[in-house]
Amino acid sequence: MGELFTQTAGQDARIDPARLLEIQATYLKEAAELWNQGLQPTPPTDRRFAGEAWQSNPVASYTAAVYLLNARTLMAMADAVEGDDKTRARVRFAVQQWIDASAPSNFLAFNADAQKKAMETQGESIAKGVANLLHDIRQGHVSMTDESVFEIGRNVATTEGAVVFENELFQLLEYKPLTPKVYERPFLLVPPCINKYYILDLQPDNSLIRYAVEQGHRTFVVSWRNPDESLANKTWDDYIEGAVIQAIDVVRDIGGAPQINALGFCVGGTMLGTALAVLAARGEEPVASATFLTTLLDFTHTGVLDVFIDESFVRFREMQFANGGLLPGRDLATTFSFLRPNDLVWNYVVGNYLKGETPPPFDLLYWNSDSTNLPGPWYAWYLRNLYLENRYVKPGAATVCGEKIDFRQVRLPVYIYGSREDHIVPIAGAYGSTQLLPGKKRFVMGASGHIAGVINPAAKGKRSHWIGPAGKFPADVNDWIASAAEHPGSWWGDWSAWLKGHAGKQIAAPKAYGRGKAYQAIEPAPGRYVKAKA
């Protein structure tokens, strides 16, 4: 078994024989204890097997216990692999995927809960499960929520506003002021183009967009077009020049302001940072301050996604999209789901298909299922230059829109946020921007993950955030964490106070969307671009 494992790990990976013997001895000891215990039920150690049916069925309980023992042993072997960091991470990721997929709870023949429900419903749950499976096959993805409950513009993305500009890449939404006065510098949000903007505007009580409007900011957001074949040749440069920089210019024009404030979230933050570097290279400073939420500019620490990225994978994608094309949204959605397979895949396989249940309505999971395509050339450039070669940390190594990217020239004040348990942009990756950007900066760490950490309304008082000593940013994020002080509740209030310090004086709120004849309301928010399906 050990020899097979090390062979599949590759020539540069091995397990020390002494460590392998130790793992085998532990396995035999625990297997003997389990056998001697017989078919006596054991307290659940995993929520997948916590149901009463698992504990009341001795065979099911024993099956679960054997599975958990095997899973622990396989992961111990994965952790014992010797080799370079990427090889070890890939082995661990692959083993974890296999372990999660092979759980007895994922199969009707072994799932005691599903069997009990089938008997109680006289087979109706199985019939409903088959119907759910056929439905999901037709729609092309596993249902995580009751999608029929939600409608964009009716009960998600409901903050009142209008489309005031559009081109082939994006619509620009302006929101109706909720205060009699607004700050003189307009505020632009750039969400990621790999999914839809309304993660920032799910419901009124958890909308970051509405919160910004309530704080007195004249607020705009980029609503990306869901690419079709007409955008199949669009590049990273096209999106920076024709979308981010274009949006900055339009917001300045509408607001009649020489400078605006801007926020970028995830890949939107990477694109905003790129645009700022391009503008700085041109000697332009149209943005007074920037906020980066869970953003990578330095791609040294990319977390679990790094297991997918190497020269052969990137070269394959470059060949695939050499003449244009689209990366289907379902491909991205599947990749992100399998980063947390028990929560985002197998949990729904069991509930939807084995138990015949309909998942409850949940706005966040509706958004998560509303995938977007990507232009292939954009994606290939992003993989090569950032994820693989990390060119932004080397001044002048990357060229965008005809300009050499040098973040030493991006001297504006910045607010940088990272989530402590983020598996997409690890906290070390978010913190890396503090070492890259030379201006005055504030770094804040929030609790939870990539989405829940960001969408954490101030009014609810949930979770905590951490702030370090002013102006001190050691090279290692762990040193910063050690010096940071915990503050209860959301980071939103801290950010709002910071942003107001860069927003200028207050002026009368506008009474109409846009500005004059040049920028008039085209249609009500959320606009038609966000409603297009992949």
Cα–Cα distance list, 95 to 14, 304, 323, 422 (Å): 15, 14, 36, 21
What's the rounded Cα separation, in Å, for the pair 127 and 121? 10
Tokens, residue 149: 């409950």
Count of Cβ atoms closer than 10 Å to residue 477 Cβ: 23
Tokens, residue 367: 């958004």
3-state secondary structure labels for all residues of 137-190: HHHCCCCCCCHHHCCECCCECCCCEEEEEECCCEEEEEECCCCCEEECCCEEEE
What's the rounded Cα separation, in Å, for the pair 516 and 202? 30
Question: Residue 454 gets which letter from DSSP?
Answer: T
What's the rounded Cα separation, in Å, for the pair 64 and 50? 10
Tokens, residue 127: 């019939």
What's the rounded Cα separation, in Å, for the pair 24 and 10? 21
Cα–Cα distance list, 394 to 386, 420, 436 (Å): 11, 27, 10
Cis peptide bond upstream of 186, omega within 30: no
Identify the residue whose tokens are 């994922």: 106
Cβ-based burial of 283 (10 A; exposed 0-12, middle 13-18, buried ≥19): exposed
What's the rounded Cα separation, in Å, for the pair 66 and 52? 18
Residue 129 in contact with residue 106, Cβ under 8 Å? no
Count of Cβ atoms closer than 10 Å to residue 439 Cβ: 12
Collapse the DSSP code of 71 into the 3-class scheme (helix H, G, I; strand E, B; otherwise coil) and give the result. helix
Count of Cβ atoms closer than 10 Å to residue 128 Cβ: 17
User: Beta 374-375 vs 326-327: how paired, if at all?
Assistant: antiparallel
Question: Residue 371 gets which letter from DSSP?
Answer: -
Q: Which secondary-structure segment (H or E) carries 465?
A: strand 464-467
Cα–Cα distance list, 103 to 20, 55, 96, 236, 341 (Å): 24, 16, 11, 41, 12
In 3-state terms the chain splits into helix, strand, coil percentages (rounded to 5) of 50, 15, 35
Count of Cβ atoms closer than 10 Å to residue 101 Cβ: 14
193 noted as active-site residue: no
Sign of CA dihedral 465, 468, 473, 477: negative
Identify the residue whose tokens are 């692959």: 94
Query: Given 13, 15, 266, 477, which residue is catalytic?
Result: 266
Start-to-end Cα distance in the chain: 44
Residue 386 in contact with residue 298, Cβ under 8 Å? no
Positions marked catalytic: 266
